[in-house]
């Protein structure tokens, strides 16, 4: 009988954690924590158990890479299906993020096989005469995060600043941008902000382990409108319930008064 794990609502996997997979070197540790290099082959896998009856955000913290080409050539797959990857501009550490979509073909407890492809692996000793490491290395991974793609806050956080970028607030302040997102001219309010407001200066936002690169997109707009409609309906229902209560209270008072009158007549 096949053993099944329980699905996890969210996953924070540091490299000292146990996981089943292939294409990994031994665990290492430094002052910043545990890490693990992919290699010696260009393909590494992890067997994980996130919930797949919902969409998830998949984020990976990469401590080191031996070449920029390796980072930019990185590909991710989930159960053999390619994922669209976004790579941040920071390189100490680097952050990549992707959406792990809902998969109705999987049943509760089924594993998800995450596959990391790099274009090459490198032997540091062959590149640098002073290097002693003769292993064939890919990327140095520090952490893997998977959590529900609910985006209730509609925000993106800065790499070094806890103040969030609120995509919906930006759209409400800039209705023209909202229309542009609805008509597909921009992927999100965040994309517009980066191109026209933030640029690449000190105010620009940056990927971090829990970053969502699409705050203020069509998904957020539709969800916000549905929430507004829901709140309107709830408010209307509450007003109708209050009105009915007042009617019932008045009728009750009238009935009490009528009963008293009847008793007086009968006496």
* Dihedral sign (CA 52, 57, 62, 67): positive
Q: How confident is the model at residue 109 (pLDDT cuts 50, 70, 90)?
A: very high
Taking only the tens place, the pLDDT of each residue in 48-98 is 999 999 888 888 999 999 999 999 999 999 999 999 887 877 788 888 888
Residue 161's alpha-carbon distances to 156, 158, 167, 202, 208, in angstroms, are 11, 5, 16, 10, 10
Top mean pLDDT of 12-16, 207-211, 217-221, 239-243 is at: 12-16
Least confident of 10-14, 117-121, 201-205: 201-205
| pLDDT higher than 80, residue 116 | yes
Which contacts of 123-127 are long-range, i.e. CB under 8 A and separated by 24 or more positions? 124/66, 127/66
Eight-class DSSP state of 7? P
Provide the pLDDT for residue 155: 47
Q: Torsion over CA of 257, 261, 266 and 267, rounded to 10 degrees?
A: 100
Q: Name, in order, each residue with C-beta under 8 angstroms of 118's C-beta and a sequence gap of 6 or more.
A: 38, 42, 70, 73, 74, 138, 139
Q: How many helices (H) and strands (E) does the chain have?
A: 6, 13
The structure tokens listed for 124 are: 């540091």
| pLDDT higher than 50, residue 27 | yes
Q: Characterize 5-31 residue by residue with b for buried, 16 or more Cβ atoms within 10 angstroms of its Cβ, and e for exposed.
A: eebeeebebbbeeebebebbbeeeeee
Mean pLDDT value of segment 129-148? 92
Mean pLDDT value of segment 147-166? 56
| Element housing 167 (H / E) | helix 167-173
192: closest CA among 210, 211, 175?
A: 175
Residues 55 and 51: their CA atoms lie apart, in Å, by: 8
């Amino acid at each position: 009988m096949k053993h099944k794990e329980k699905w996890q609502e969210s996953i924070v996997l540091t490299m000292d954690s146990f996981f089943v997979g292939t294409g990994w070197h031994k665990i290492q540790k430094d002052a910043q924590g545990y890490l693990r290099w992919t290699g010696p082959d260009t393909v590494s896998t992890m067997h994980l158990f996130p919930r797949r009856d919902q969409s998830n955000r998949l984020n990976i913290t990469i401590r080191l890479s031996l070449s920029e080409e390796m980072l930019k050539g990185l590909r991710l797959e989930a159960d053999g299906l390619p994922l669209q990857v976004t790579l941040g501009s920071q390189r100490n550490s680097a952050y990549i993020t992707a959406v792990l979509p809902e998969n109705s073909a999987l049943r509760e407890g089924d594993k998800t096989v995450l596959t990391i492809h790099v274009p090459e692996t490198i032997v540091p000793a062959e590149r640098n005469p002073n290097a002693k490491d003769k292993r064939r290395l890919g990327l140095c991974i520090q952490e893997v995060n998977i959590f529900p793609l609910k985006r209730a806050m509609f925000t993106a956080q800065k790499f070094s600043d806890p103040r969030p970028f609120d995509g919906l607030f930006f759209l409400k302040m800039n209705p023209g941008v909202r229309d542009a997102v609805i008509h597909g001219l921009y992927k999100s309010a965040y994309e517009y902000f980066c191109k026209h407001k933030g640029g690449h200066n000190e105010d620009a936002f940056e990927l971090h382990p829990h970053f969502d690169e699409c705050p203020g997109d069509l998904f957020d707009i539709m969800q916000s409108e549905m929430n507004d409609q829901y709140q309107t309906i709830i408010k209307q229902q509450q007003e109708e319930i209050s009105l009915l209560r007042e009617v019932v209270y008045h009728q009750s008072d009238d009935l009490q008064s009528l009963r008293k009158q009847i008793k007086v007549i009968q006496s």
